[in-house]
Amino acid sequence: MSFIVWVAVSVLVMSLMLSAAGAAGPVGIFTDCADVGAPSSPGPGSAVFDARKQTYSISGGGANMWGAADAFHYVWKRVSGDVGLTASIEFVGASPQPHRKACLVFRQSLDPDSVYVDAAIHGDGLTSIQWRQTRGGPTREVQSHTAGPKRLRIEKRGNYCTLWIAGAGEELRAAAASPRIVLEGEFLAGLAVCAHDANRIETALFSDVELAPLPAASGPPTLLSVLETISIGSGDRRAVYVAPLGQLIEAPNWSADNFLYYNSNGRLYRIPAEVPGSPPSGGRTPEPIDTGLATRLNNDHGISPDGKLMAISDQTEEGRSLIYVVPIRGDAPRRLTPLGPSYFHGWSPDGRAVTYCGQRNGAFDIYTIDIAGGQERRLTSASGKNDGPEYSPDGRYIYFNSDRTGNMQIWRMRPDGSQQERITNDEANNWFPHISPDGRYMVFLSYEKGVKDHPANKDVALRLMDLQTMGVQTLTTLFGGQGTINVASWAPNSRALAFVSYQVLAR
């Protein structure tokens, strides 16, 4: 080979293998690379593409990809529409930093505070979908219950994104979904590494990378149901259980011994609870609860204060919802309400009565009935729908939602129905108040203005009211509604709560 030919070949090989940090130019299938935000003190990041192995070795610094602004090294190309990005990921070398991140990222711009969503794997194996919905806003995440998957995928369809994961030799499976993320026009899709330490550079190897538009859906949409928990302090979320595609799960209750009970396909199930930040379990199998003849449960059920009984709402017997009590580990149910439809919502603190919504003569009102039996007691008679009743832990109030003044708002009253007062007053439609075990907070579900009733397929917010100051904050937003948080789901320590999020996947 002549010297001139050797030089030409060498230049070609080098151009395929290497693109240095900050130098605009192609890196494999991507068009550019650069640091985003403040680099680490050792210097800028870098990206090396090995054309023979089809791998990307990306080194990045940066203090974090979190909060209101990010710092990391990014390799990207401009895309638009519905896309999927997939890669196998492994970190290179040991590190004292368990929170270093390797990510698949969709991002509106290179601005440090840009709107974005990513699939992130951390140095300690924690895997999550992270996002920032508004420029300069906070970063949120849903943590997977599986640590250290071999392969990650993030899909964007419309304004919703989904995390997919797989172990070595496994098929990709859905692991979590984001709320509504608006990426306008062209946006950036690519690979990123963040050191999570402004004094370090970390490296990750990305292989079998695929970036492609998503094909048009060829079949009916498929439901993704995810049982989650959220910390009220940090707002972090954990996917405890991801149901098989197409299976609807609803309405978790959180027991004193840290199990989550939920309904699906007319049955009751339980699974150990996980909280954000705890070691991922790797996924557990739900345990069915025997409820005897009651095989058409709906999403209105709850655990007695002593933890021994479960009140359930079921429509097996008469084709309309009736309330029963059953031992919490399962057995034959005992009917409680003589009339229907009746929808359970809350136990009295002493466990001697329950409160529920009943439809009588076309009107939805709040009732109570003793566990020992007897006649039901009607507590509301205002026009419109009165629903979602729940006792406060001290027994002083029953909280409920009512649309008697127009849109649905949260109200409360004394246990005998007296002194009815509205405690939220905004343009949202607010449903299903649940009081924390320590009595300090109320969580409730909010739909946007104009949404009627409580459908299952809307963008909703879980909002938190401090009952001492009456101040309200948004805990998280999600796609859901009916089935998300119909019944009490607070953790026993009042620091977290459970809910169900949904996603409609086009496949």
**Amino acid in the structure at residue 206:** F
Do 28 and 169 fall within a single domain? yes
Please tell me the least confidently modeled range out of 19-33, 330-344, 396-410, 426-440: 19-33
> Are 105 and 131 contacting, i.e. CB atoms less than 8 angstroms apart?
no
Query: What's the whole-number mean pLDDT along residues 408-427?
Result: 97
Return the percentage of the chain with pLDDT > 70, whole number: 95
Count of the separate structural domains present in the chain: 2
Q: What is the tens place of the pLDDT at every residue in 291-304?
A: 999 999 999 999 99
Do 350 and 255 fall within a single domain? yes
> Are 224 and 502 contacting, i.e. CB atoms less than 8 angstroms apart?
yes
Q: What is the spatial distance between Cα 402 and Cα 385, in angstroms, rounded to a whole number? A: 6
Do 230 and 138 fall within a single domain? no
Q: Which of 148, 181, 213 is the last residue of a domain?
A: 213
Residue 18: the pLDDT is: 37
Residue 33 structure tokens: 């690379």
Quick check: 40 pLDDT over 90? yes
Do 208 and 228 fall within a single domain? no
Secondary structure (DSSP) of 423-489? ---SSSEEEEEEE-TTSSEEEEEEEPTT--S--SSEEEEEEEEETTT--EEEEEEEEE-TTTSSS--
> Are 34 and 40 contacting, i.e. CB atoms less than 8 angstroms apart?
no
Closest CA to 176 of 283, 73, 87, 90: 283
Q: What is the tens place of the pLDDT at every residue in 228-281?
A: 999 999 999 999 999 999 999 999 999 999 999 999 999 999 999 999 999 999
Closest CA to 239 of 499, 505, 58: 499
Do 51 and 111 fall within a single domain? yes
Do 206 and 227 fall within a single domain? no
Q: What is the tens place of the pLDDT at every residue in 365-394?
A: 999 999 998 999 999 999 899 999 999 999
Quick check: 20 pLDDT over 60? no
User: Is 350 exposed, middle or buried, given 0-12, 13-18 or 19+ CB atoms closer than 10 A?
Assistant: exposed
Q: What is the CATH number of the domain that holds 293?
A: 2.120.10.30
At which residue do the structure tokens 């969580």 appear? 443
Q: What is the tens place of the pLDDT at every residue in 127-167?
A: 999 999 999 999 999 999 999 999 999 999 999 999 999 99
Residues 70-93 as b/e (b if ≥16 CB within 10 A, e otherwise) read: bbbbbbbbebeeebbbbbbbebee
Do 21 and 134 fall within a single domain? yes
Quick check: 324 pLDDT over 70? yes
Residue 47 structure tokens: 């990206």
Q: What is the spatial distance between Cα 260 and Cα 1, in angstroms, rounded to a whole number? A: 70
Residue 270: the pLDDT is: 98
What's the number of CA atoms in the CB half-sphere (13 Å) around residue 275?
Answer: 16
Residues 274-299 as b/e (b if ≥16 CB within 10 A, e otherwise) read: bbbeeebbeeeebeebebeebebbbb
Residue 500 structure tokens: 């169900």
In which band, very low, low, confident or very high, does the pLDDT at 19 lie, cut at 50, 70 and 90? very low
pTM of the model: 0.93
Quick check: 24 pLDDT over 80? no
> Are 31 and 78 contacting, i.e. CB atoms less than 8 angstroms apart?
yes
Q: What is the CATH number of the domain that holds 185?
A: 2.60.120.200
Round the average pLDDT of the chain to a whole number and report it. 94
Do 122 and 184 fall within a single domain? yes
Q: What is the spatial distance between Cα 506 and Cα 159, in angstroms, rounded to a whole number? A: 13
Q: Which of 170, 193, 213 is the last residue of a domain?
A: 213
Q: How many CB atoms are closer than 10 A to CB 11?
A: 10
Instruction: Residue 323: give the domain boundaries.
Output: 222-505
Query: What's the whole-number mean pLDDT along residues 84-89?
Result: 98
Do 87 and 43 fall within a single domain? yes
Residue 212: the pLDDT is: 97
Q: What is the spatial distance between Cα 55 and Cα 220, in angstroms, rounded to a whole number? A: 36
Q: What is the spatial distance between Cα 494 and Cα 328, in angstroms, rounded to a whole number? A: 21
Residue 17: the pLDDT is: 37
Q: What is the tens place of the pLDDT at every residue in 461-479?
A: 999 999 999 999 999 999 9
Quick check: 21 pLDDT over 70? no
Q: Which of 168, 192, 213 is the last residue of a domain?
A: 213
Do 292 and 440 fall within a single domain? yes
Residue 373: the pLDDT is: 87
Do 238 and 208 fall within a single domain? no
**DSSP single-letter state for residue 7:** H
Do 45 and 155 fall within a single domain? yes
